[in-house]
Amino acid sequence: MSPVRQHSIHVRPRNYSPLSILPSNEGSSSSSLKDSDSIDGSPVPASNVSSEEQQISMVENAMHNEVFEQLQQARNELERSRKESSEGRQKAERELFEASRMFKARETSLGKEKKEVEERLSREKSILEKEKVQVYNELQKANEQKVELENMLIQTHSLLEELQQLQGEMQRDKEDALREAEEMCRLSGNRNFGSDCEVCLTEFSYSEIQEATNNFDESMEIGQGGCASVYKGFLRHTTVAIKKFNREGIVGEKEFNDEVEILCKMRHPNLVTLIGVCRDPKVLVYEFLPNGSLEDRLRCKLHTKPLPWRMRIRIAADICTALIFIHSNKPKSIAHGDLKPDNVLLDANFVGKLGDFGISRSLNLTNTTVTPYHRTDQIMGTLGYMDPGYIASGELTAQYDVYSFGVVLMRLLTGKGPLGLQNEVDASLSSGVLHAILDASAGEWPLEYAEELASLAVKCCRLNRKERPDLAKEAWGVLQSMINEPPPSSSLPPEAPSYFICPITQEIMRDPHIAADGFTYEGEAIKDWIQRGHTMSPTTYLNFAHLELIPNNALRFAIQEWQTRQQQ
């Protein structure tokens, strides 16, 4: 409509004349002018009037055409404006419709989300309410249990005080009895310890022990356990191992007396020999075993050579023999209770000897039991070697040692630590991949031997004690057959004298040399040991007085003569 407003349209009627705009007199028409009268009142000729009418008609036609064109243009513009307005309105309506549709969709989506959030919040609120109630109930139970435990603790403390008093009285009675027994021994001229011991033990003075260990110098220490330290000493012209108990009071006294009571009654080639005692402070004197513990050899401590597989089988047989001996002790069998490689010591010829009887116990047989046992409330031992049945019930039996023996067998086979070893060996044996976990440092294990030993070890570690093998009837037979079976090819004949064997290489010596520690070694082996910077003896673990080596010609000739006889 705006273009129309820009043009003023003046429409004249067809009978329009310029004179019609003049005012007319009252009672006369617009055409009543006389032809003779002019505008200014002068007379007008008739020809002029006709010409003027013609001009007026032309003007009217021109104006009519102009007006028509303007009207036509205005109509076109109006039509175009209306069309544009209609299209704009339709577009606006479409956009409005689309916006309305999107708004409704968004409103629906927000409504669903709102509903879901409300439902989730309602569920979480319900869960939190339940948890709140549960936590409140558990807290009440915990408070009740706390009160009960506090009451029990008070009662336990009271009982403990009574037991300590009673134990103190019993200990004093025992000490009085021991003093009386010692006095009787002195009066009878017997200087040996223990009135009820089958094997006499020599008593040593504390000054002798101090002199033998250089006042328990750290350089003389060769081992340390949970309750005692072990020192190497030279006592009465003999190299010995001196075990000093670190625990004081009733517990230390009991461990000391228990070990003395057990070892003074037994002697066996595969048990560490107890030589004597010193009661104040508590000290035990053992035979000295130069090759240390089985644990040290499995870990190749001080760069020692790994144990060959055949030697490992022989050590296992030594342990089995020792266990059979203590389990068949009369009148009461004995359970070691802490069998592990740390407590298996090796002599100069790598013979295994069982030691550390500090927590060993005599087993009792009652009228209501078939198997001798010892019940205790104090669970003692080493994790990885402890019988699960003992941990659960507190009953120590000979089968406890059988379980520990199975773990030791697995360690000899694999060289791995005890924790989780039973499951690994069992799984490897079942899947036929036992060779993958065998200790390669022991040499090439005969697969038949390895599988037989692994099977025996798994049986020893069964949870049901009744399913474990009898050491004397089953385990010893397996080990003995392996020991008696000669190797298909070996540089070390079984009949070779032990002093022909080098302590380092475990082979017959070709060029024996004497070192400053007094032991004879293969020349190349001991030279290599010294060249690698070792100043300590591989046998005694003490520093060499000097690094000079002396050829042992007499031993070399003896070895050559023996080898010549073997070839004949």
396 and 435 assigned to the same domain: yes
129-145 per-residue burial string, b: 16 or more CB within 10 A, e: under 16: eeeeeeeeeeeeeeeee
Query: Is the Cβ–Cβ distance between 350 and 315 less than 8 Å?
Result: yes
Say which CATH number the domain at 549 has.
3.30.40.10
Residue 350 belongs to a domain: yes
333 and 376 assigned to the same domain: yes
Give the Cα separation of 117 and 48 in Å (integer).
99
Residue 193 belongs to a domain: no
430 and 505 assigned to the same domain: no
Query: Is the Cβ–Cβ distance between 354 and 322 less than 8 Å?
Result: yes
Mean pLDDT, the chain, rounded, equals: 81
Residue 339 belongs to a domain: yes
Beta bridge pairs of residue 283:
244, 278
Q: pLDDT tens for residues 314-350?
A: 999 999 999 999 998 888 889 998 999 999 999 887 8
Residue 491 belongs to a domain: no
- 188 pLDDT higher than 50: no
Plot region of 28 (φ>0 → left; ψ -120 to 50 → alpha; else → beta): beta
371 and 450 assigned to the same domain: yes
Residue 329 belongs to a domain: yes
- Confidence tier at 366 by pLDDT (50, 70, 90): low
Higher model confidence: residue 252 or residue 496?
A: 496
206 and 102 assigned to the same domain: no
94 and 130 assigned to the same domain: yes
- 477 pLDDT higher than 80: yes
Give the Cα separation of 522 and 541 in Å (integer).
18
Plot region of 494 (φ>0 → left; ψ -120 to 50 → alpha; else → beta): alpha
* Total domain count, the chain: 4
Q: pLDDT tens for residues 43-88?
A: 555 556 578 788 888 888 888 888 888 888 888 988 888 888 888 8
Residue 166 belongs to a domain: no
> What pLDDT score was predicted for residue 343?
92
> What pLDDT score was predicted for residue 459?
95
Residue 123 belongs to a domain: yes
- 163 pLDDT higher than 90: no
206 and 240 assigned to the same domain: yes
Q: Which SS3 state, helix, strand or coil, does residue 272 take?
A: coil
- For residue 549, what are the domain limits? 498-567
Kindly state the helix (H) or strand (E) to which residue 277 belongs, with its residue range. Answer: strand 274-278
> What pLDDT score was predicted for residue 24?
43
Say which CATH number the domain at 223 has.
3.30.200.20
| From 296, 318, 338, 342, the catalytic residue | 338
Give the Cα separation of 491 and 509 in Å (integer).
11
Give the Cα separation of 210 and 217 in Å (integer).
9
- 385 pLDDT higher than 60: yes
- Confidence tier at 297 by pLDDT (50, 70, 90): very high
Q: Which SS3 state, helix, strand or coil, does residue 382 take?
A: coil
315 and 445 assigned to the same domain: yes
pTM for the structure as a whole: 0.55
Is 176 one of the catalytic residues?
no
Residue 43: cis peptide before it, omega within 30 degrees of 0: no
Residue 183 belongs to a domain: no
